[in-house]
Amino acid sequence: MGVRYLPILKWKQGERTAISQLSSAGRNGVTPHIVLMQAQFGGPRKQKKTTVSTTKIPLSASDYFAKQVEDVWGKTPFYLDAGNLAETASSHDLDTIRKSTNGLGLHLIPSTRLHRTPSYNQAIIRSFKADGRGIALRVSLDQMTSAATWVSSWPIPLGETDLIVDLGGSVASVLALGAPVHAAFVALHKGGAWRSVTVSGGSIPATLSGYPVGRTMLARSELALWSALQKASLSYQLDFGDYATIGPDAATEGIAGPVPINVKYTLTSEFAVYHGVRTKGPGSKPRDQQYRSHAKDIVKLPNRFPLAHCWGDHMIDAVANNPTASPGSPGSWVGFSVNRHIELTRSQLP
């Protein structure tokens, strides 16, 4: 079995576009891990009132989410962490989402962490018993190393649990620890008993404030760590996960503008991170001008290695080389960069 790739997504429009545009090679062996927040679970946007009468009933939030997944990902498995959504003592939004996704024949695998609300814990157990697709469990490095102390109280059989060791934004520090971390993964409690084991993390900072204007190169520490762990004598296959080109701790809602025009682009072992300037005020530049400048620099990178089957690369090429092509928007550039990232990362994994 080949190594699986689990990109952790916030389910923003740009990310949805990115996965909808993946090639068949880019989708193979990829299982998106969606962390769904309330802002992305509100149902369809309200349409402006018109004089034309209609009897069409708007989709519920859960039906709308299910339709989004069907449209961009189809019936291929995906993970969903819905722990931040609404709940009561006896029900959780995960229940209605499951009903909607099951109605469309989708392959939803719920995801959770160790310390969640009783309501979400019960919803996870209901899902496991009713759907039989297993559960994903995201843990920290400390929780992984102490698994022997809590695994007996975990209510799902290990053979039905996908363990995800999520290092978040600390992956560079973990990589620097070297041998002790390798030993911790070798010593994973009941390592071969879990249905799967994944290491995940992200190197993109939460904000580019403080970074110089222009291009900065950042190491892909999460991929370097996974590669180093491949050389350890693990008793299990270690799959790979990351946060694509979004910072693990980045704010995605309520960002006051105008904001700098930033872009991220993934290379084989680094991220090219472009920090722009604001579009209004002292020192500002038009948004379109900045996007074209970023694109022109990307296509000249000596170690770029564009992928012939990558939609994101084609779109960036158009912005750089075709003056009549749209320079894009913040959302569309998230789509370009995440699509490129997933396509490249999938091609790097066995």
pTM score of the predicted model: 0.94
Confidence at residue 310, expressed as pLDDT on a 0 to 100 scale: 99
Q: Return d(Cα 104, Cα 132) in angstroms, integer.
A: 17
Question: Mean of the per-residue pLDDT values for the chain?
Answer: 95
**pLDDT tens digit string along 297-335?**
999 999 999 999 999 999 999 999 999 999 999 999 999
List of residues 6+ apart from 204 with CB closer than 8 A: 218, 243, 245, 246, 247, 248, 250, 264, 271, 273
At residue 122 the predicted structure's pLDDT band, cuts being 50, 70 and 90, is very high
The distance of Cα 304 from the centroid of its chain, to the nearest Å, equals 22
How far is the CA of 295 from the CAs of 8, 197, 202, 212, 289, in angstroms?
25, 37, 23, 18, 10
- Give pLDDT, residue 57: 73
Q: Is the pLDDT of residue 50 over 60?
A: no
pLDDT single digits (tens) 142-197: 999 999 999 999 999 999 999 999 999 999 999 999 999 999 999 999 999 999 99
How would residue 255 be classed by pLDDT, with cut points 50, 70 and 90?
A: low
- Identify whether the C-beta of residue 64 lies closer than 8 Å to the C-beta of residue 44: yes
% of the chain with per-residue pLDDT over 70:
95
Q: What is the DSSP string of 204-266?
A: S-S--TTSPSEEEEEE-HHHHHHHHHTTS--SS-EEEEE-TTS-TT---SS--SS----EEEE
Q: Could you report the per-residue pLDDT of 271-293, keeping only the tens digit for each?
A: 999 999 999 999 999 999 999 99
What pLDDT score was predicted for residue 44?
78
Terminal-to-terminal C-alpha distance of the chain: 9
Distance CA 102, CA 17 (A): 23
Selected residue with higher pLDDT from 224 and 259: 224
Residue extents of the structural domains in the chain: 31-42+62-133
- SS3 state of residue 173: helix
For residue 52, what pLDDT is reported?
54
Give one DSSP letter per residue of 18-85, joined into a string. Answer: HHHT--HHHHTTB--EEE--GGG-S-SPPPPP-SS---PPPPPHHHHHHHHHHHHHTTS-EEEE-TTS
- The percentage of the chain sitting over the pLDDT mark of 90, rounded to a whole number, equals 89
Report the alpha-carbon distance of residue 254 to residue 273 in Å, rounded.
22
Confidence band for 256, pLDDT divided at 50, 70 and 90: low
Distance from C-alpha of 53 to C-alpha of 50, rounded to nearest angstrom: 8
Model pLDDT for residues 54-96, shown as the tens digit of each residue:
556 788 999 999 999 999 999 999 999 999 999 998 999 999 9
pLDDT in tens, 221-241: 999 999 999 999 999 999 999
